Amino acid sequence: MFTAIFTRGGQELTNIPRVVVTGMGTLNPMALSVEEFKEGLAVGKSGVNTITRFDASKYQVKVDGEVKGFDPAQYMDLKTVDRNPRAVQFGIAAAKQAIESAKLDMAQEDPVRVGVASGCMVESSYVVQQSERVEQRGPRRADPLFVAKSSPSAVSMQVGMMLGAKGPNSSVNSLCATGADAIGTAFNFIRLGYADVMIAGGADSSLDPLGMAGIDILGALSRNPDPAKACRPFDLNRDGFIYSEGSGMIVLESYEHAVKRGAPILAELAGAGWSFDAHDATAPAPEAEAYAMRSAIDSAGITIKDIDYVNAHGTSTKLNDANETRALKIALGDQAYKIPVSSTKSMIGHMITAAGAIESIATILAMNEGIIYPTINYETPDPECDLDYVPNVARKARVDICLKESFGLGGENCCLVFKHPRLLS
Amino acid sequence: MSVEDQIKDIVAKIIHVDKDIITREGSFKEMKADSLDIVQALVAVEEAFDIEIPDEEAQKFQNFGDFVSYVEKQVEKKGEG
């Protein structure tokens, strides 16, 4: 009585498909490809730099994480370059990398079975410019690209157009949790039979004078002027996060579909969990974060003893890192002290809506390479942060099961569980 | 430069085609322009000549020549005014 019969293609869906990752792509402050990212992570390279995108002389914030040397024309035609803001160009480029690494050939796919789930954030200064223009010169002077350039659906729409993917096209936004949330959303589309393949992730280039001021006024950004040292998650002297830009996209597909087409299998996405703080917009609630972790663990059908590594949200703010540590202890109990926890953000800063996706890629690389990437700039322990943060130096380890955490500024939490492909058979 | 040449420059730049392929008989569709290209071209031409092309007029254009003729008339009117 209380359950529905769930049908897909006229058949009752009784077996939920397993979901695997078959391709990855990223552009971030440290790297313009997954290969370059992998090399940088292993040596604890920092991608943080002094602000060059705008004149920051009036700002207390002096450093950010900018994508360096990106040439959009390598990935798209000139009309697509003209039509899309930088964040969307990042998203298209990362999706192209991911599709290529997955060896996905759309000519062999049923287009309605391929979808996209991605979030993005673009520069708010553009919206302000348009507003001023229309106010001064009238409504006929609006940019015809206004909707395309400023909409939160820009990346999923453009990636879907580029691929000719006619399945679900969903634009997720939960601020700093967006990338992970989009991956979890795509996972559900496949699990519930709506798609065989989903391109999922996030793309962000909102680093502009207004975006920077708007986050800095909340006291969330580091004012440390030294790019090499400013980002220091879990360290006693951390003073805020580094505002960055970039994109991470992954190709998810049903295990069956991946095997059928002989796709490279990089990981299984085994579980996802969500929660919301419903508390204070900028102060995290560890109980809610712990609930998202437990929910992801439960959805993956694993126990806390199975987890080999946690890829933290680890922003480098006073509040996040202490509360994330508390949340890990609530969710994992004493086991929290035995599991290595590291922050990819220590090397590349916080790419807001792209962070969860780029860090998922780092997590999958850690499993495949058998290397736990470090938390760099960790010098002085904080009594409130007393776990094993893999300080400064990467560690060789067999990593089979990982928990990835992402927490949105505002209270949106999403956690994912990834497994090494060797556990599939 | 004639009005026609100026419009050709604007359109070629927006839809990323060679100016020489644009003829009075040709249509936006034949130039592989999509809906956004057309709106962008109309707005850019409005701005360049400081005229207004009402949507109901733009819908009547059968080819590039109709577009050019309409703009030429508006520019002429403006000159007289």
Digit-coded pLDDT (tens) for A293-326: 999 999 999 999 999 999 999 999 999 999 999 9
Q: Which residues of B touch A83 (CB under 8 A)?
A: 36
**Does an H or E element contain A299, and which?**
helix A286-300
Domain identity same for A392 and A279:
yes
* Contacts with B46 from chain A: Cβ below 8 Å: 140
Domain that holds residue A186: 19-260
* Among chain B residues, CA nearest to A147: B36
Based on the fold, state whether residues A98 and A240 are members of the same structural domain.
yes
In a domain? residue A3: no
Are residues A248 and A285 located together in one domain of the fold? no
Of A77, A144, A148, the CB nearest to B43: A144
- CA A244 centroid distance within chain: 12
Q: Is residue A102 part of a domain?
A: yes
Q: Cα distance from B36 to chain A (closest Cα, Å)?
A: 7
State whether A42 and A186 are in the same domain: yes
Which A-chain residues 266-295 have CB contacts (< 8 A) with chain B? Answer: none
Instruction: Supply the DSSP string of A25-88, one letter for each residue.
Output: EEE-SS-SSHHHHHHHHHTT----EE--SS--TT-S--EEB---S--GGGTS-HHHHHHS-HHH
State how many domains chain A has: 2
Q: What is the ipTM of this complex?
A: 0.85
Q: Are residues A247 and A282 in the same domain?
A: no
- Domain boundary (A236, A260, A284) is at A260
User: Does residue A10 lie within any of the structural domains?
Assistant: no
**Residue at token pair 């700002």:** A59
Tell whether A135 and A185 lie within a shared domain: yes
Kindly report the CATH number assigned to the domain that includes residue A156. Answer: 3.40.47.10
Nearest chain B alpha carbon to A149? B36
Q: How far apart are CA A291 and CA A276, in angstroms?
A: 9
Q: Are residues A80 and A182 in the same domain?
A: yes
Q: Structural domains in chain B?
A: 3-80 (1.10.1200.10)
Taking only the tens place, the pLDDT of each residue in A189-202 is 999 999 999 999 99
CB-CB contact of A254 with A110 (8 Å): no
Give A144's contacts in chain B (Cβ within 8 Å): 36, 39-40, 43
**Is A93 inside a domain boundary?**
yes
Q: Which of A210, A237, A260 is the last residue of a domain?
A: A260
Residues of A annotated catalytic, as ranges = 176, 313, 350
Please report whether residue A1 resides in a domain: no
Same domain for A68 and A191: yes
| Contact yes or no for A145 and B40 at CB 8 A | yes
The reply to whether A109 and A187 lie within a common domain is: yes
Q: Which residue of A has its CA nearest to B17?
A: A79
pLDDT per residue over A184-241, tens digit each? 999 999 999 999 999 999 999 999 999 999 999 999 999 999 999 999 999 999 999 9
Give chain B's length.
Answer: 81
State whether residue A144 sits within 8 Å of chain B by CB.
Answer: yes
- Nearest-CA distance A198 → chain B (Å): 26
Q: Are residues A290 and A254 in the same domain?
A: no
A277: pLDDT strictly greater than 80: yes
Q: What confidence tens digit (pLDDT) does each residue in A278-296 have?
A: 988 778 899 999 999 999 9
Residue A368 Cα distances to A163, A282, A397, angstroms? 28, 35, 11
Check whether A333 has a pLDDT greater than 90. yes
Distance CA(B6)–CA(A127), nearest Å, equals 29
Q: Strand A341-342 to strand A309-311: parallel, antiparallel, or no bridges (unpaired)?
A: parallel
The answer as to whether A365 is a domain residue is yes
Residues of B labelled catalytic: 34
Contact list in B for residue A148 (CB cut-off 8 A) is: 36
Chain B contact present for A136, CB below 8 A: no
Q: Answer left, alpha or beta for residue A343, where phi above 0 means left and psi between -120 and 50 means alpha.
A: beta
Task: State pLDDT tens for residues A52-96.
Answer: 999 999 999 999 999 999 999 999 999 999 999 999 999 999 999
H-helix or E-strand containing A130? helix A124-137
The answer to whether residue A179 sits within a structural domain is: yes
Domain for residue A283, yes or no? Answer: yes
Structure tokens at A378: 């960790």
Q: Are residues A410 and A323 in the same domain?
A: yes
Which of the listed residues A235, A260, A285 is the one where a domain comes to its end?
A260
CA distance A79 to chain B (A): 6
Q: For position B30, what pLDDT does the model report?
A: 87
Q: Are residues A329 and A354 in the same domain?
A: yes
